[in-house]
Structure 1
């Protein structure tokens, strides 16, 4: 009797899909790397991506040899085919072979027929169908188990039932008694059980890796969403700040404009009142002068003599008018633009603070610290020794000191008027870069200068490689303030015999002002550029590995320069990268 659909159901959504077309498999073919694709999909991809007789797997990129038959030469993924065959049946059917119509327990993948237990056994005995694959249909969790038989290529009628451990080969009984007679063999079922256990353990580890990859994938997806949210928030804040500044600027403009209008209106009113008064005085003055001229020039002697008193009085009024001669105060209004707009517009508007958070597997650890005197200024350079001591320079002075961890000076030496950096080789020889003299002093343990290497530039940062080569930053100007685009600033690597080995940045477009250089654990050369605000990492061959850029709001990026803190401790940090 058939069971209900609820008891036997394999949802089509659980089927795997082709990694190329992302659809349900059509004639699934499995590559040697165990990735599966539709036969037609992998054929098209293989033709497009092939290089000679190989092509990269679309998923894992492993190099795959192209079979002579092309895509047809790849094995059929019988497990996907079996899952599809069983998934197509949503109700336990009856046997398609026998007349009793017993409930089917298997489905033949090749014949696409449902079979009961008895018909399944007979199906695997018939010569034409004995190599077929029967997919189990009774697992309550919907898992599809395959049953099949394999036959010996030499004794074609004999089933393979043993495994030769020495030859690592599946064999039949006749092969065991002949060719593999003296070999160590075991039952095929026992060998399969052991193999399943080994593969099961490996699969557990692989599943952990797959889970870790999936978690990282989800982390990147969430990171992408957070980036989008962050972008929206920052852009919205920029718009808000712009509107706020516009509002304040508009209000300030209206307030200042009103002040200008009010001041100029008041002054104009005074000017108009004063000019009307002066106009009346001028009109009256001219009229009296004209009347007096007429009497003087045309009047009779009697009129002149009789009018002398009045005319004299009027002339005195004109000469000494009631309207006083007042030179007015002159209003001057000028607009003085703020220099802050030009000099610190970012400070007025606001700045973006961009930072990159390091992953958990990168950590910093304190290796050693040195205490300095309260009177000490900037620690320009510090170079630890193998004995737990350190060579230091305080400020850009001519003195170098050897101090212990408590800051006590063990010995000191005056080398140059302008020391920039100190490096120490494996023989405890000091290399001191002297900018003023454009040279590097090589000093032995007795504090004697044993060699001076002169350059045509100003040596800054130094480093000693694991092979004993000297790395030196060689800008053409003493400070980055004096940098000119015409300068070709380089980093030079000098072999122990003082012959040039490699010049980094000879093209002139790589560095602006290289100031510090170091070699990391992998032997890569790291150069910090003070003006480009970057750290460039070179491989041993001189090829650029990567470039990291920092914020341009600071000029201290990448400097190997430590300052005394409140507790007057200089701290060395060792960065450890833990590979997962």
Structure 2
């Protein structure tokens, strides 16, 4: 007899007659001869004119259906023995094999983590050793420098004492010629005492946000917990979600200080270009070479391929102000200014409201830590929320926040305020620095232009970080795409467009999606590659 667990594949039903019983349940001395198809019951002849008389058109003699049912049984037996049982056996074997490989797999993973941690420790020890050696070297240089200064002062002191004694004698007994010569000598002297040299030739600034940088250095540990958390929220987010950090650039240097070594192309290579008639206020490229396009005057968001073909459309009940992709799950988020809602598109492609804001939202960015950063209109703030709407951090700014982006290398967050200036925060909205266009005067081309004109004409549309930790800026006024380091140092004008320059987005592999006016005069997109491989 099958166990209770084994019987779980048979649908529960209310037994009317024991299986295989040939006697009628009502007329227990008589054998069943008919099938009432309406009731799906086997009955005796008298039942057909009493309890089942309304179903007379559905009656079949039991002997007539045996052949057909025999075939159903035979098909089941054949499929069970030839397909289902072998499949189950194979799945059991496969699962047992997988179970056997589980411990070695995780042992290897643990060993990799430990080995990489040891390497990080060795590298930290080497960096510390180099820093200490440099301090020792600079200490000796500083001591030599100050000793040279002391020797020079002592020589000056000796000379002054000798001259003072000599000039006293000249005053008493010297001739007119000697007095003249002595005064001439005094006039040629350097009366200034040289300043003490600066011996503080090194500076050490302790790193901030050390924990996140150390985790990033050790490596990424990605894991999914959906199948382990029964009854979890539909959004798949929680405050305990794993922090999945992008891989650090393999280029030599530190992206956080703009010192990563990389090679820029003389001019960007156009990977693809195509017309796109709809206005775009935000574009969010996906990791698989497509992009979500948003127009803040409409209630729709389109997913297009790299030739401009619309693959999918998400529609909402109110206009969608801005969009962002969760860097961990890849899901689309958006904000609606009119009803102050923050929404996520679920796996069924339906928008779900995650929380509401107390002020109208202009922009948003979902961070790698699972936070939602929102720029507001009325109170002019940058606000960091949890995915269920709890406020974590805020900062007041001098205008509406038009664009927000997070660096995949440092975790820093950059915002555009009223198209005029750019603010860079750390991952908890602590101000790091402001960037305005006068910061790129080093190129020389702005020196002859009045500063007031520059500031009046600034129109930064969007900012996005690339994989090197550099910031790409779309400048509508000059129709250019600018590149600055993560520390705010101007690097290069990547592209100058003949017409309109719109928003930009970054695809994996540093492919830049730029919305602009094509050479044909119509609006469209160019996919640009600006780093050399």
Instruction: Output the TM-score relative to the length of structure 1.
Output: 0.35
Q: Which structure is richer in relative contact order (CA contacts within 8 A, separation 6 or more)?
A: 2
In our comparison, the structure showing a higher alpha carbon Rg is 1
The two structures have a TM-score, normalised by structure 2, of 0.37
